[in-house]
Structure 1
Amino acid sequence: MGVEEEFLLVGADGHPVAKASEALESSDAPDRSQGTHGTGAGGLETEFMEEQLETATHPRRELSDLADQIRAGRERAQAAADRVGARVAALATSPFPFEGTTVARVRYLEARARFGLTAREQLTSGCHVHVSVDDDAEGVAVLDRIGPWLSVLLALSANSPFWQGGDSGFASYRSQVWARWPTSGPTRTFGSPEAYHEAVDALVATGTILDQNMVYFDARLSSRYPTVEIRIADVCLDADSATLLAGLARALVETAARDAAAGRPAPLLRTELLRTAAWRAGRSGLADDLLSPLTWRPLPAHDVVGQLVAHVREALADAGDLDTVTELLGRLWAAGDGATRQRGWLADGDGDLRRVVERAVAVTHA
C-alpha cells in the first residue's frame, strides 16, 4: 500500500501562497525534470495549483513503515517550503479566501479553460490510498464491493470546514467542491474488467474530459500502478489519522478480494444511496449520524465506524494491524476529526483564522 497526500502552502499570515514550482526548483533533490523529487519518502511534486505540494510514499507492507514514510513525506514537503519562506499545512481547504493559481502545465491550463470556476476553485487537498491487487479482474471485484464503505472513510478524514473565509456548514467541504467534476463520485457494479474499461472509455469518448486520468471516481483502478486507488478522503490533519485511513483502506480491499475469491456475490450498488451517504459524511464527519452501509439508515457515527471495523476485522488481524488501528481510532475519537478540531481552534482564537492555520501547521508535523 502507498499514500499520496496533498498539502496547502501558506505564508506567515496563513493565506495560501503560490510558490510550489519555486519551492521545487530551489530544492536540491534530484529528478526535477520529471516533477518528482527525491527517493527517501517517495515523490514530492506540484499539484493542480501553485498553492499546493503533493507527497507520495513508496509502497509498504507494514503499517508502521508506512507511518514513517508519511511523516518523512511531510517533513520533506516542509523542507522544500522552507526555501521559499512558506509553510505546509494539512488542510483540505483554505480557511482564508483565495484565488487559485494554476500550475503552468498545458494539461492543467487546458482544464482551467474548459472547466471554468470548477477548475479555478480546485484548491482542495485530498489523500489517496493505493492498495495492490493481482490484476484488473481482482481490482474490479474489489471496486464492486467496497463502495458502500467509502463514505465512512470520508467521515474519518473530514478536515475542511472552512471555505473562502467562512464556515461552510460541512465537515468536508472539499468533497462538495470536488463533486463538481463531471466524473467524480461513486460507481455502479461493473462485474468485469471489460465493463469497467468500457465505462472509462465511454466517458473519455464524450469529449467532456481531457483523458482517462480525469475519471475521478471515489475509487478506481490506477492507470499507473497495479492498485486500487481510494480517492474519497480529505487530507488528514495529522499523520496518525493518515496511517489509520491507510490501514482501514487496505483491510477493506483485502476483505473485498477475499469475498470475491470465495464466490460471495457483490452487492448491487445503488449510486443514489452511495452519493447520499457520502454527502452526509461530508456534511457532519464524525459529529453526527452516518448512513449504515448495512441498512442505509442513519446511525451514530461511532456505531457505523464500528460496523466498518467489524467488517474488516479478520483482514486487520491477519495483517497485524488490528491493535494499531484500534489505538489510532481511539486517538481520533478523543481528539475529534479535523473539522471539529479546526472549529475548536477558531473558537479558542476568538474567531481568528490565523490561529486555525498556525495550529494546523503544528499538527501537520507533530
Structure 2
Amino acid sequence: MRTVGVEEELLLVDPETGEPRAMSAAVLARAAQDPAEEDVFEKELHDQMLEFATHPQSDMKRLHAEIVRCREEAARHAGEIGCAVAALATSPLPVTPAVGMGRRYQWMADQYGVVVHEQLVLGCHVHVSVESDEEGVAVIDRVRPWLPVLAALSTNSPFWQGKDSRYSSYRSRVWQRWPSAGPTELFGSAERYHRRVADMVATGTILDEAMIYFDVRLSQRYPTVEFRVADVCLHSDTAALIAT
C-alpha cells in the first residue's frame, strides 16, 4: 500500500484586519516548545508563511484527519502569539513580503531580486511513495495530462495586492517566474532526470537540487514523487481530495 503525505503553506495574518504578519519565527518558537510537534512545522521563504507536513498515511480518512489536526495546531500556536492562520494561496490584501533570514534565502533574494520579493504565494504539496527513482520518473512522465485537473480543483488565489486578478489561481502565474518551475518534458529514465537537474544546478541559475520547482518532481528528502501544482486549498477536505 502506498503512503501519502501532504505539506501545506499557510498565511499568517492579523486576526482582526486579515493583513499578513511576518511572525513565522515566533510561531515556530512556540511550536518548538511542544515535543509532539517536532518536524511538523517549518520556516518558508517569507516570514508571513508557515509550513506544516503531515505524517505519511495509507488511508485517506486518516490523512484528512492529519491535515485537520495540523491546521488546528498551526492556528493554536499562532493564536498564542496574537496572530491567525489562513489557508489562502495569495493574500487578498496588499502586502510587502519579508524575506526570511539565512544564507539560502538571502542568496535567492540577491539573485532574483523582485521575483523573490513578490513571491508570497502558498501551495499544497502531495508526496506519494515510490519504490525507486525509476518508478518515480515513470510516474512523472505519465501524470502530466492530469496536472491541469489538479490545479483546477485546487484554485484558491483570485486576488493579488488587493485587486481581483481575474484568474482563479494567480499563484500559478506568479510561480512560473522561477526558471525551474512548471511542466516538464518526457524524461524516459531516472538517469535523464538527474542529468537535467545536475545541468540546471551547474549553470548557477539555481542554487541546488531543492530549487527544482517542477510541477511534479522526485523529492530530495523522501522516497516519494512530489506533486507541487496545487494551490493551498481553503477547505481541508479539498486538500484531502487533491491528495487522493
The normalised TM-score by structure 2 is 0.96
Which consecutive segments of 4 or more residues in structure 1 shift more than 6 A? none
Query: Any idea what the Cα deviations from partners look like across 1:70-99, whole Å, max 9, x if unmatched?
Result: 000101111110122111000000001111
- Asked whether 1:115 is paired with 2:115, we answer no
- Point out the structure with the larger strand share: 2
- Return the offset for 1:207: 0.7
Aligned equivalent of 1:17: 21
Q: Which residue of 2 aligns with 1:288?
A: none
Query: Does the residue aligned with 1:153 lie in a helix, a strand or coil?
Result: helix
User: What residue identity is the alignment partner of 1:183?
Assistant: S
Question: How big is the shift at 1:202?
Answer: 0.6
Give, in angstroms, the shift of residue 110 of structure 1: 1.1
Displacement after TM superposition at 1:235 (Å) = 0.1
Instruction: Specify the alignment match of 1:48 in structure 2.
Output: 45
1:136 matched to 2:116? The reply is no
* Alignment counterpart, residue 221 of structure 2, candidates 224, 227, 231: 224
Q: Which residue is equivalent to 1:308?
A: none
How far did 1:26 drift?
2.9
Which entry has the higher C-alpha Rg, 1 or 2?
1
Tell me the residue number matched to 1:38: 37
Matched residue, 2:6: 3
Q: Write 1 or 2 for the structure with the bigger share of helix.
A: 1
**Among candidates 123, 133, 142, match of residue 126 of structure 1:** 123
**Partner residue, 1:68:** 65
Distance, in Å, in 2 between the alignment partners of 1:193 and 1:46 is: 30
2: CA distance, partners of 1:203 / 1:53: 28
Partner of 2:95: 98
SS at 2:51 equivalent: strand
Q: Write out aligned runs for 1:1-366 (5 A).
A: 1-11=4-14, 12-27=16-31, 28-30=33-35, 38-39=37-38, 43-247=40-244
Q: Distance in 1 between matches of 2:111 and 2:160?
A: 23
In structure 2, C-alpha distance between the alignment counterparts of 1:209 and 1:45, rounded to whole Å: 21
RMSD over aligned Cα, in angstroms?
A: 1.0
Matched residue of 2:227: which SS? Answer: strand
Aligned-partner Cα distance in 2 for 1:148–1:191: 16
Distance 1:118 1:80 in 2: 30
1:24 is aligned with what amino acid?
Answer: L
Counterpart Cα distance in 2 of 1:25 and 1:56: 17
Q: Deviations for 1:266-313, whole angstroms, at most 9, x for unmatched residues? A: xxxxxxxxxxxxxxxxxxxxxxxxxxxxxxxxxxxxxxxxxxxxxxxx
Q: 1:350: which partner in 2?
A: none
Matched residues, percent identical? 53
Q: 1:38 offset after TM fit, Å?
A: 1.1
Tell me the SS of whatever aligns to 1:8.
strand
Task: Give the TM-score normalised by structure 1.
Answer: 0.64
Consecutive unaligned residues of structure 2, counting only runs of 5 or more, are none
Secondary structure of 1:81's counterpart equals: helix
1:5 is displaced (CA, Å) by 0.3
Question: Deviations for 1:220-247, whole angstroms, at most 9, x for unmatched residues?
Answer: 0001100000000000100000000000
**Paired positions, count:** 239
Whichever residue aligns with residue 8 of structure 1, its letter is L
Taking the aligned partners of 1:154 and 1:229, their CA distance within structure 2 comes to 14
